[in-house]
Amino acid sequence: MSLSVVILAAGKGTRMRSNLPKVLHPVAHQSMVEHVIDSARMVNSDNIYLVYGFGGELLQQRIQGDDLTFVEQAQQLGTGHAVDMASAYLKDDEDVLVLYGDVPLTKVSTIEKLINAKQDGGMALLTVNLANPTGYGRIERLGGNVVGIVEQKDATAEQLEITECNTGILLANGGDLKRWLGNLSNENAQGEYYLTDIIAMAHGENKSIHTAHPDTEVEVEGANNRVQLANLERAYQLRKAEELMIAGASLRDPNRIDIRGKVTVGSEVQIDVNCIFEGNVSLADDVAIGANCIIINSQIGQGASIKPNSIIENATIGENCSAGPFARIRPGTEMKAGSHVGNFVEMKNTTMREGAKAGHLTYLGDSDIGKKVNIGAGTITCNYDGVNKSKTIIKDGAFIGSNASLVAPVTIGEMATTGAGSTIAKDVEDNTLAVSRAKQRNIQGWARPTKKAK
């Protein structure tokens, strides 16, 4: 049977105090509604209908997919009216799942429970027991069976005692849903077309109404303001941190990590506090990440150690490498096994071959650094002449003295040496020493300047 998903996202989100439509506000790396769309796709939906009211242009710019149809709800006349906007697209013989664009943390496993709960001919509701049910629609049961939902504002004192609440998320047959939506009225306390009224209609037709429940409340929470959004962010981050720990990583503090993408870890990975991971990051076995590191779209090889305050982006760090503290490793950089960069070393589009080292205060751009090369402190590759970028090649075993300027394009030969403080603008042959600096003069008996009388 095919599955269509209707995502309600027409609310303006006034309480966000933002020009951005509410559902475009982010949790971790993507907007709330993108999380919901991801979940819909993970339960193998065939079509997704996004019901929007505001910022349609922006939504369509930001969110794309062949399976996505944008459906406008020009006036917000209620949740039933919102779902009805998609009715023209829904097929009679398919399942229709209703999700909310501002409820981003519903687990796929919970949606699957809901899908499994619906037996043929019936429908399924995701409900949750809340200690404080204020504001929610209450689930009415008779002899254990669900017979309806009553909204807070329409409820009697007795109904307000019910703690089983409607999350809003439900699953019904397309044909049934369209028929019920067509019969909704807005004669209620809020003058809205309530989606929740279809439950009594289903009961009236003797349809079975099944329920499923989330594992935690946060799965069904929405964000109406930035405080709630921040709470969802922390809940999401804790969930990701727990996934990493279950996968074998040790986190010094699972409350102090941010994962904005997908991180995979090997065993015995250690992550200290306040690290941010973005995009696709993989950490192999025995990797140690120090405090305050930012790692973006990078692979870190087995046994590598990233020291505190390092930033690594679009780079590959090989086995047993070490980087930092305060290393900045920029896109296109590859550190091969056992290479090392220390504090205040910046690299861009550079290969550090096996065992090469740059311990301190260095910029290596567009470079190929050979095996076991030693780069002295303060070495700068002058890779940019203001117009063009050029390459620096340093062959295996070379030794670059401290405070060198390597003016690219330039090649330093195998086992060559450059003297400290040299500006190297010409190629250096293998096994050669190149020194290029003003000769030192020692002036004996030189008198220091004295203060001039005024």
Nearer to ligand UD1, 77 or 247 (CB): 77
Q: What one-letter code names the amino acid at 413?
A: G
Rounded Cα–Cα distance for residues 392 and 197 (Å): 71
**Rounded CA separation 206/221 (Å):** 31
Pick the closer one to ligand UD1 by CB: 85 or 281. 85
For ligand UD1, the closer of residues 114 and 375 by Cβ is 114
For ligand UD1, the closer CB: 73 or 333:
73
Contact in structure between 402 and 420 (CB atoms under 8 Å):
yes
Cα distance between residue 371 and residue 354, in whole Å: 5
Q: Which residues on adjacent β-strands are paired with residue 405?
A: 380, 423
Q: Closest distance between ligand UD1 and the C-beta of residue 159, in Å?
A: 12
Q: Distances in Å between the alpha carbon of 178 and those of 6, 121, 243?
A: 13, 14, 40
Q: Among residues 196 and 305, whose Cβ is nearest to ligand UD1?
A: 196
- The DSSP code for 153 is G
Q: How far is the CB of 168 from ligand UD1 (least distance, A)?
A: 4
Output 199 or 369, the one with its CB closest to ligand UD1: 199
Query: Which positions ≥6 away from 414 have C-beta within 8 Å?
Result: 370, 395, 396, 397, 398, 430, 431
Least separation in angstroms between CB 83 and ligand UD1: 9
Minimum CB–partner distance for residue 21 and ligand UD1 (Å): 10
Q: How far is the CB of 99 from ligand UD1 (least distance, A)?
A: 9
Q: Which of 203, 213, 340, 360 is catalytic?
A: 360
Binding site for ligand UD1 (CB under 6 A): 8-11, 51, 73, 76-79, 81-82, 100-102, 136-137, 149, 151, 165-168, 194-196, 222
* Least distance to ligand UD1, CB of residue 71, Å: 10
Q: Which long-range contacts (CB under 8 A, 24 or more apart) does 24-27 make?
A: 24/55, 24/58, 24/59, 24/62, 25/223, 25/226, 25/229, 27/104, 27/105, 27/223, 27/229, 27/232, 27/233, 27/236
Is 360 catalytic? The answer is yes
Q: What secondary structure does DSSP assign to 80-109, as a single string? A: HHHHHTTGGG--TTSEEEEEETT-TT--HH
59 Cβ contact list (under 8 Å, min separation 6): 9, 21, 23, 24, 33, 50, 52, 70
CA distance 272 to 258: 12
Residue 182 sits at φ, ψ, to 5 deg, of -65, -20
Residue 29 Cβ vs ligand UD1, minimum distance, rounded to whole Å: 21
Closer CB to ligand UD1, 83 or 263, in the complex: 83
Nearest residue relative to ligand UD1 (C-beta)? 137
> Contact at 8 Å (CB) between 347 and 364?
yes
Q: How many residues does the structure list for the chain?
A: 454
Looking at the Cβ atoms of 31 and 73, the one nearer to ligand UD1 is 73
CB of 82 to ligand UD1, least distance (A): 4
Under DSSP, is residue 448 helix (H, G, I), strand (E, B) or coil? coil
Question: Catalytic positions, please?
Answer: 360
